Amino acid sequence: MPGKIFLQDIGQRHYKEVWDYQEKLLQQSIQIKQQQQLPQNYLLFTEHYPVYTLGKNGKPVHILIDEAERIAKSIEYFHINRGGDITFHGIGQLVGYPIFDLDQFKTDLGWYLRSLEEVIILTIAEYGLEGKRSAGETGVWLEPGIKGAERKICAMGIRCSRWITMHGFALNINTDLSYFKYIVPCGIQDKQVTSIEKELGYAVSMDEVKEKIKRNFEKVFDTSFA
């Protein structure tokens, strides 16, 4: 049985502050494992102030505005150590960062990513949205098999060290989607980005979505919150 998950809802934060905090938790977990003990599993919930993040193998050309324009729009930028390409984080988007010891679950990154996707698929299904996977692409999509209708609702990118995870998912709930116009989201051309609000036609409660995600984490990862 995996260890319990400790939830930390840290509210609206600048990206770098939370990135540093994740790194701190990851290093603490690695040290605990080296002492032959079980580290705690954390799930951080946050909303970031506007920021573009580029994965370690991402392409800077997927940022479509220059630095001066980006700064004028008060959008931060970081080239970071997760997988994936370019994405946007902003207010109204729920970002979840699991700092999980996969030795307590399953040491398989493919399984882990599919499990994160399943949490989101189950969550948006509660709003009548049919989330699906897109072959060869991470994250959760709506209508990925219909050319011209494909739209991404949740981006994902992770890092793993000694089977401890960091980074995670970004679910568009009531997100201002105009920020995505200035990038090629996830490096994928000619596909749209959407949100729960856009699909339903009205804003939904962030707290309500968080509760649903917590329940679905318990179901998919066969664990519970502390």
- Residues 19-41 have pLDDT tens digits of 999 999 999 999 999 999 999 99
Closest-CA residue to 8 (of 27, 20, 22): 22
pLDDT at 1: 64
Please give the Cα distance from 210 to 55 (Å, whole number). 25
- Residues 37-88 have pLDDT tens digits of 999 999 999 999 999 999 988 899 999 999 999 999 999 999 998 988 899 9
pLDDT above 80: residue 220: yes
Element (H, E) at 47: strand 41-48
Q: What are the phi and psi torsion angles at 82 (to 5°)?
A: -95, 170
Strand partners, 12: 47
pLDDT above 80: residue 209: yes
| Mean pLDDT confidence for 201-214 | 98
pLDDT at 187: 64
pLDDT, the chain, mean = 95
Residue 124: how many CB atoms within 10 A of its CB?
23
What is the separation of C-alpha 48 from the centre of its chain, rounded to a whole number of angstroms?
12
pLDDT at 83: 83
pLDDT at 87: 92
The catalytic position among 186, 196, 209, 213 is 186
| Mean pLDDT confidence for 85-94 | 95
Rg of the chain over Cα atoms, rounded to whole angstroms, equals 17
Please give the Cα distance from 221 to 116 (Å, whole number). 9
- Which is more confident, 191 or 104? 104
Element (H, E) at 117: helix 109-125
pLDDT band at 120 (very low <50, low <70, confident <90, very high): very high
Q: Does the structural domain 5-107+158-204 have CATH classification 3.30.365.10? A: no
pLDDT band at 139 (very low <50, low <70, confident <90, very high): very high
pLDDT at 185: 76
- Residues 157-193 have pLDDT tens digits of 999 999 999 999 999 999 999 999 999 877 667 779 9
Total residues belonging to the chain: 226
Residue 145 contacts residue 196 (beta carbons within 8 Å): no
Residue 11 contacts residue 48 (beta carbons within 8 Å): no
* Residue ranges per structural domain of the chain: 5-107+158-204
Query: Which residues contribute to the annotated binding site for substrate?
Result: 82-89, 155-157, 168-170
Strand partners, 52: 77, 88
Kindly compute the dihedral angle of the four CA atoms of residues 76, 169, 38, 35, in this order, to the nearest 10 degrees. Answer: -40
Q: Residue 153 is encoded by which pair of tokens? A: 């609702």
Which amino acid does the sequence have at 212?
K
pLDDT at 188: 65
Residue 45 contacts residue 120 (beta carbons within 8 Å): no
Is 160 annotated as catalytic?
no
pLDDT at 184: 87
